Amino acid sequence: MAFNSLDFFIFLPIVFLAYWLFFTKKTNHQNTFILVASYFFYGLWDWRFLFLIIASTVVDYFVGQYIYTSDTTKEKKKWLWISIIFNIGLLGFFKYYNFFIDSWIDFISLTGYEIGNSWTLQIILPVGISFYTFQTMSYSLDIYYKRLTPTKDFISFATFVSFFPQLVAGPIERASNLLSQISAKKVFNYAQCTAGVKLIVWGLFKKVVIADSIAPIVDDIFANYSEYPASTLILGVSLFSFQVYGDFSGYSDIAIGTAKLFGIELMSNFKFPNFSRNVAEYWQRWHISLSTWFRHYVYIPLGGSRVSKLKSVRNIIIIFLVSGFWHGANWTFIAWGAIHAALYIPVFLMGRNRIYMNTTVAENKWFPSITEILQILCTFSLITFSRIFFRSESITDAFGFIKQICSNFRFETYEHPLGYRMIDYFILLTIFTIYEFRIRRDERSPFKFKSRVTRFIVYTIVILGMLLFFDDNIDRSFIYFQF
């Protein structure tokens, strides 16, 4: 069930009303109801894969108990490895099995031997497996590192693993934030609910009006890149930057807003990354939950930046390659990760990777300076270039796309595949960018205006835009569902 489907618009009000009308007396009743609703939410996609979520839940629940009660470090480590091997094993089989087999077949073919593809399997990738396996592993890792005491409440833990607002595409939550809230009694809060509804509306706007309206253009250009000149290809990958941002940040807004309806505060996953002034700031603002996960559970255990410069550079390379591989079983994602490592390392070596951690662009000003504008444009251009690999079907296509830009550098007016005027999209994205710059200081308050008239105008435009662009007959799944 997708957030932008009619099914969800029916499901959510029913669950919300039942939750607050019938399950407010006991926390255990609240969590049991949400757990059932979450399993129903996921099971509508494919009920068979519920067993994977349940298996991951059971394993890490008991692993957490055994790590905590074990007397020796050796024993604790043994149980931790059970969690890691089990979850990475699930992820590895469903997501990466055919990738490794195909890569091995290709390697063997270089020697002149052909072994066929009899080893490959028809495997369906379970939606959300990259997210919930990382979430359950973080629970075991936090117990191992003595950051967390395991819960004895299995229902609360199962709800933490499968909480439907963030089950299939994050944010990837740590138990110290989400499980502690799930274990506490929730009381209806009108202000929290209205804030949640506003985030849901804004997230849907970004998904339906921004991401989905751009998708046909991006699909056409990337599918037929060999037929278009450089101007069109640059247009295509630039629009893809807006598409993937609107799609994924829109999902995160809906997830955070939906959680608010049930008294839960999820972590922020996006903080206006398109206004980043260097690549390091970009990664502090883009997919924050994944970046945080890798920093806490991979980068710091490797030594982080506390070791020598050479080892720190090694750690950065590892993080970005693993992050790329996490996104998908394709060499394009590994190349994408390598590009980001290459972009990040110079910023790190110059000591400029943390200078924008607590500031926003044009801090306490209405407009950015010329220097900030150039920094933003440069960063956006570099990130956009990397997305050629992120969006392409293969490494061959990615390099073919780049080659076409370099060899066919001419301007040509692009004709929309559905016949719409392109000028309308430029106006839409310009207004959207200006609006996001206006609200850049608070990603959780998209409609924060003192004037009621202004709020009414903005609400009207947003809702009319969604009604105009919404089409339930078009398959517009969220991009990160495939990860």
CA 443 to chain centre: 16
The number of residues making up the chain comes to: 483
Percentage of the chain modeled with pLDDT above 90: 72
- In this prediction, residue 26 carries a pLDDT of 87
Confidence of residue 115 (pLDDT cuts 50, 70, 90): low
Mean pLDDT, range 107-112, rounded to an integer? 68
Average pLDDT, the chain: 91
Q: Which of 124-128, 231-235, 394-398 has the lowest mean pLDDT?
A: 124-128
- How many Å apart are CA 398 and CA 396, to the nearest integer? 5
- In this prediction, residue 110 carries a pLDDT of 67
Residues 6+ apart with CB under 8 A from 425: 213, 214, 217, 239
Say whether pLDDT at 124 is over 90.
no
- In this prediction, residue 112 carries a pLDDT of 67
Phi then psi for 23, rounded to 5 degrees? -130, 40
pLDDT digits (tens, 9 = 90+) for 359-374: 899 888 889 999 999 9
205 CB-contact burial (10 Å; exposed 0-12 / middle 13-18 / buried 19+)? buried
The model's pTM: 0.92
Percentage of the chain modeled with pLDDT above 70: 94
Given a contact cutoff of 8 angstroms between Cβ atoms, the answer to whether 200 and 254 are in contact is yes
Q: Which of 2-16, 93-107, 261-275 has the lowest mean pLDDT?
A: 93-107
pLDDT digits (tens, 9 = 90+) for 145-194: 999 999 999 999 999 999 999 998 889 999 999 999 999 989 999 999 99
Confidence of residue 1 (pLDDT cuts 50, 70, 90): confident
Given a contact cutoff of 8 angstroms between Cβ atoms, the answer to whether 299 and 225 are in contact is no
Phi then psi for 231, rounded to 5 degrees? -60, -40
- In this prediction, residue 119 carries a pLDDT of 65
- In this prediction, residue 366 carries a pLDDT of 87
- How many Å apart are CA 413 and CA 422, to the nearest integer? 9
Closest residue by Cα to residue 273 from 39, 461, 31, 436 = 436
Confidence of residue 411 (pLDDT cuts 50, 70, 90): confident
pLDDT digits (tens, 9 = 90+) for 40-63: 999 988 888 899 999 999 999 999
pLDDT digits (tens, 9 = 90+) for 259-289: 999 999 999 999 999 999 999 999 999 999 9
29 is catalytic: no
Q: Which of 36-45, 90-99, 376-385 has the highest mean pLDDT?
A: 376-385
Q: Which of 78-87, 92-101, 329-338, 405-414 has the lowest mean pLDDT?
A: 92-101
- In this prediction, residue 401 carries a pLDDT of 96
Q: Which residue has the tokens 């099914």?
A: 7
Q: Two tokens at 301?
A: 């255990």
Burial 296-335 (b: 16+ CB within 10 A, else e): bbebeeeebbeeeeeebbebbbbbbbebbbbbbbbbbbbb
- How many Å apart are CA 425 and CA 423, to the nearest integer? 5
Given a contact cutoff of 8 angstroms between Cβ atoms, the answer to whether 53 and 161 are in contact is yes
Catalytic residue (one of 287, 327, 340, 416): 327
Q: What is the 3-state secondary structure (H, E, C) of the chain?
A: CCCCCHHHHHHHHHHHHHHHHHCCCCHHHHHHHHHHHHHHHHHHHHHHHHHHHHHHHHHHHHHHHHHHHCCCHHHHHHHHHHHHHHHHHHHHHHHHHHHHHHHHHHHHHCCCCCCCCCCCCCCCCCCCHHHHHHHHHHHHHHHHCCCCCCCCCHHHHHHHHHCHHHCCCCCCCCCCCHHHHHHCCCCCCHHHHHHHHHHHHHHHHHHHHHHHHHHHHHHHHHHCHHHCCHHHHHHHHHHHHHHHHHHHHHHHHHHHHHHHHCCCCCCCCCCCHHHCCCHHHHHHHCCHHHHHHHHHHHHCCCCCCCCCHHHHHHHHHHHHHHHHHHHCCCHHHHHHHHHHHHHHHHHHHCCCCCCCCCCCCCCCCCCCCHHHHHHHHHHHHHHHHHHHHHHCCCHHHHHHHHHHHHHCCCCCCCCCCCCCCHHHHHHHHHHHHHHHHHCCCCCCCCCCCCCHHHHHHHHHHHHHHHHHHCCCCCCCCCHHHHC
Say whether pLDDT at 229 is over 90.
yes
Handedness of CA 131, 337, 252, 236 (dihedral sign): negative
- How many Å apart are CA 420 and CA 284, to the nearest integer? 36
Say whether pLDDT at 79 is over 90.
yes
- In this prediction, residue 55 carries a pLDDT of 94
- In this prediction, residue 5 carries a pLDDT of 83
